[in-house]
Structure 1
Amino acid sequence: MGRQRGVTGTGRGDLTRRGFVLGGLTAGALVAAPGLAQAGERPPGSALTDGVASPDIVDCAGWGARPNSAIVPIWNQRPVKILVHHTASANVADLSRGAADRVARAIQNFHMDSRGWLDTGQHFTISRGGFVLEGRHRSLEVLRIGQRQVEGAHCTGQNVVAVGIENEGTYIDQDPPGALWDSLRTTCAYICSQYGIAPTELYGHRDFKNTICPGDRLYGMLPRLRSEVAEVLGRRVEEADTQKASWPLLRAGDAGDTVLAAQYLLRDAGIHTNVDGRFTPATVAAVTEFQQATGAEEPNGILGGESWPVLARIVDRATESGSDAARAVEILAGNRSSEAVPDTVDRPAWQDLLGTSGAPTDTSVDPAGPPQ
C-alpha cells in the first residue's frame, strides 16, 4: 500500500494490509535532515507547543523494534492531516504495557516480512490500554521538531501529507476503550500543535480507500474527536466544521436507495449488474470489476472513498435525462423539488444527495505520486 524505496536520508483487518496475527530545499523535497535529534530526545523548548504537552510516547527502541531494512524517507514539508486507522485485530482484554509492545512488534513483523516494507507502515500506534508507541523509525524525533515528515506506508496517496495512527482493535460494532480514546485525543492534539494542522483535518482511512477501516463506530466518532482535539488546543470550531464531507461505505448485505443509485452508476460505467437496491454477491462482483477497470489499489468489492469519486461522475441533468447516471440522481433526489437539485451534479452535489455532505475534505495527495 505504501511506497518503499531508497532515498537520501539518515536512518537507522481483516488479514489484509494490516492483517497481522497477534499471539536546499523546496517543499516536497526529500532531505537527509542533518542535525535531527536522536530518537527519544526532545529539542529545547519543545515540551510544550501552544500549551499542548507531548504525551508519553514509547520510541522504537523502547518496544524492541527491529532495525529498518532501508533508509527511512524524510520530506522537507509538514503533513497537513491525520489519518485514523484500526488494526482490525482482536479486542483483547490485556491492557498492559507488555501487550502494547507485543502489538507493535507484531505489526512491524507483518509489514516487513509479509508486505516487504522497510519498516512499520504507520507513524504511531495506540494500544487498547492507551499506550502510545512510535511506529516507523524516526517518526517521534521528526514530530518533536515539527518541520518535516517521515514518509509512511499506511495509505497510498497520503503517506507524505498525513500522519498515520493505528489503534489496536476492531471498531465496527464496538467503541474503543476509554484509555485508547484519551490517548488518541491527546496524541492528535500534540501532532496538530507541532505541525500546525487544523483540528478539523482528522480523517479515517476509508475517506481515501475502499476499506472498512477504522471501523463504523470509530469512524462515526471522528466529529467528536475533531471537537475534543480543538478543545485541547484551545480553539473554537463550529459543529458544522466537525462534520466532513465524505462518501458512504457500501458492502455486502447493504440495501436501499444508495445501493440502487450505485448500481445504476455501475451500469452507466459499462458494468453489467443487477439494479435491485441489494448489495448481493453479484454487486460485489460488479464493484470489483469496476475497481479493476479503474485502477483501484486493492479491488475488493467494497465501495468507499477511493472508488466513489470515480463512479459518481459529473452529470448534466439537462442533456442526460435518459442516462443511468441521471436515473441515479433521480433515485437519490426522492421527493426533493427539481429546484433543490442542481442542473450539474458534481462531487459536492453527489455527497449532498448521498447524505454525506459537510465541511470540505482535504483531498491533497502524496506529491511523490503513485507507489514505485
Structure 2
Amino acid sequence: MCPLARRSFLIGGLGLVGAGAGLLGTAGDAAAVTSPEIIDCAGWGARPNSDVVPVRSQRPVKIIVHHTATPNTKNLSRGAADNLARGIQNFHMDKRGWIDTGQHFTISRGGFVLEGRHRSLEALRTGKRQVEGAHCSGQNLVAVGIENEGTYTTGAPPGRQWDRLRQLCAYICEQYGIGATEIYGHRDFKDTACPGDSLYGMLPRLRGEVAGALGQAASSSALQLASWPLLRIADRGPTVLAAQHLLRAAGERDVVADGQFGRSTADAVRRLQTAHSTEEVNGMLGGESWPLLVSVADQAGDADVASAVQALNAGRPLSRSLRGPADWQQLLDPNTPR
C-alpha cells in the first residue's frame, strides 16, 4: 500500500497467469516448506477488531506485495516491529474507519513477521480459509496481502526482511496451493507506485526464489509476468505517447500527443478516473486505469488508436487486431518480445 495511492501514513496490484501456470515441473522432492515465526495479534498488542472479521471458506489464489511507504528505519528491533504494527492498525481503524488492520501480514525491516488482520494466521494454518482483507479493493477475497516496512522506490529491502518475505510467500503458497508465479505487486491492480519501483522490479527474483523453495522449476518468462506500465508526471517516451493517443480516442481531444506526461495529461487521466469511479483520482496511469482506458479507446476505434499502436510497435502496424485489455497489456509491457 502506498501513500500515493490512498493513505498519508500507509498504503499499499489482475494477473494473466493461472495458479501454477508457466511452471515447467518440479526440481525434485524438496523438504517441506516451514513457516517463519509469526507474531500473532496478541503478541504485538493489537486492539480488538471493531466488528466481526469475515472469514471465507475458500482459498486465496494469489499474493500481493506492498510496502508501507514509511521511513527506512535503522531500528531493527522487535519493539520497533510491534510499534509499526500498532501504528498501522491505529491508522486503518481511526483514520480509514476499517474494522481492523487492512493487510494479512507485515514484515518489519528487522525481519519480524507479524499477523496483521485478526485471524489471518489461524486461516493460513488451516490452508482452507481466507480472511477478507482491506489491502487492495477487488482482490481482498482472493489475495493475501503482505506489507513490507519501508519505502522501496530505490534501494532494496534489508537482507533479513527479504529472507522472511521469501519464506512467508513460500509457506503461503504451500498452504494454499498457490503457484509461485502468482505473486504480484499492488500496482498490478491499482494506480499506485506501491510496492516501489525497486521492490516491484525484484518480484521476478522473488517468484524464482519461492519456486525454488517449493521444489519447482520455472522459466524466466513465467517469472516475468506481463504488467501494466505506471505513468506519472515527468515520464516521457513511446508509452506516454501511446497513452496520450488513447486518451484522445477516449474523448480527451485537448490532450497533446507529444510523449511527455505533464499536468494536462495527468488532468485527463483524473477525468477518466472520476468518470469511472476508480478508487483513486490521482492522475497516475496504472493497473486500475489502463484497462479502462484501452477499453474505452477500443470502442471509439479512431485514428488515434492506430497511432497508439504504432507508438508502441516502433512505427509499424500490428499484424493482427487487439482483442481487449489482455492484448493491450502485452503490447504495453516492455518485456514482451516485438
User: What is the TM-score with the length of structure 1 in the denominator?
Assistant: 0.81
- Asked if 1:283 corresponds to 2:268, the answer is no
Instruction: State the structure with bigger RCO (CA 8 A, min sep 6), 1 or 2.
Output: 2
Structure 1: gaps spanning 5 or more residues? 2-12, 22-48, 359-372
Residue 294 (structure 1) aligned with residue 276 (structure 2): yes
Quote the residue 1:351 is aligned against. Answer: 329
Alignment-derived partner of residue 324 in structure 1: 304
Say which of 204, 209, 213 aligns to 2:190: 209
After TM superposition, the structure 1 = structure 2 runs for residues 175-214 of structure 1, keeping only pairs within 5 Å, are 175-214=156-195
Match of 1:313 in 2: 295
1:165 corresponds in structure 2 to 146
User: Is the 2:5–2:193 Cα contact (8 Å) retained in structure 1?
Assistant: no
1:119 to 100, 104, 125: 100
Q: Deviations over 1:24-78 (max 9, x none)?
A: xxxxxxxxxxxxxxxxxxxxxxxxx970111100000000000000000001100
2:125 is aligned with what amino acid?
R
- The equivalences for 1:331-350 within 5 A come to 331-336=311-316, 338=317, 341-350=319-328
8 Å contact kept, 2:250–2:297:
no
- Is contact 1:314–1:347 with CA below 8 Å preserved after alignment? no
How far apart, in 2, do the equivalents of 1:98 and 1:341 lie?
A: 59
Given that 1:18 and 1:107 are in contact with CA atoms closer than 8 Å, whether structure 2 keeps it comes out as no
* CA distance in structure 2 between the partners assigned to 1:357 and 1:217 by the alignment: 16
Whole-angstrom CA distance in 2 between matches of 1:314 and 1:237: 35
Counterpart contact for 2:245–2:307, Cα < 8 Å: yes
CA 1:314 to 1:295, structure 2 compared with 1: closer, same or farther past 3 Å?
A: closer
Give the Cα–Cα distance (whole angstroms) in 2 for the partners of residues 266 and 309 of structure 1: 12
**Is 2:39 aligned against 1:58?**
yes
Q: SS of the residue aligned with 2:273?
A: helix
| C-alpha spacing 1:342/1:16, structure 2 compared with 1 (3 Å) | closer
What amino acid does structure 2 have at the position aligned with 1:142? A
Is contact 1:19-1:88 (8 Å) kept? no
| RMSD (Å) for aligned C-alpha atoms | 2.1
Contact 1:333 1:341 in 2 (8 A): no
**For the Cα contact (< 8 Å) 2:250–2:296, is it kept in 1?**
no
Range with greater deviation from structure 2 (138-147 or 345-354) = 345-354
The 2-side partners of 1:19 and 1:316 are apart by 35
Q: Does 1:14 align with 2:14?
A: no
State the distance in 2 between where 1:311 and 1:79 align.
Answer: 28
Shift in alpha-carbon separation, 1:300–1:15, aligned structure 2, 3 A: closer
Corresponding position: 1:95 with 2:103 = no
| Aligned 8 A contact 1:315 1:344 in 2 | no
Return closer, same or farther for 1:315/1:275 CA change in 2, 3 Å cut-off: closer
| Distance in 2, Cα, partners of 1:333 & 1:315 | 17
Percent identity over the alignment is: 62
Gaps of 5+ in 2: 11-29
Distance in 2 (CA, whole Å) between partners of 1:140 and 1:316 is 44
- What's the CA shift string for 1:303-333, capped at 9, x where partnerless? 000010111138889x95x521121112212
Identify if the C-alpha distance between structure 1 residues 316 and 55 changes in structure 2 by more than 3 Å, giving closer, same or farther.
Answer: closer
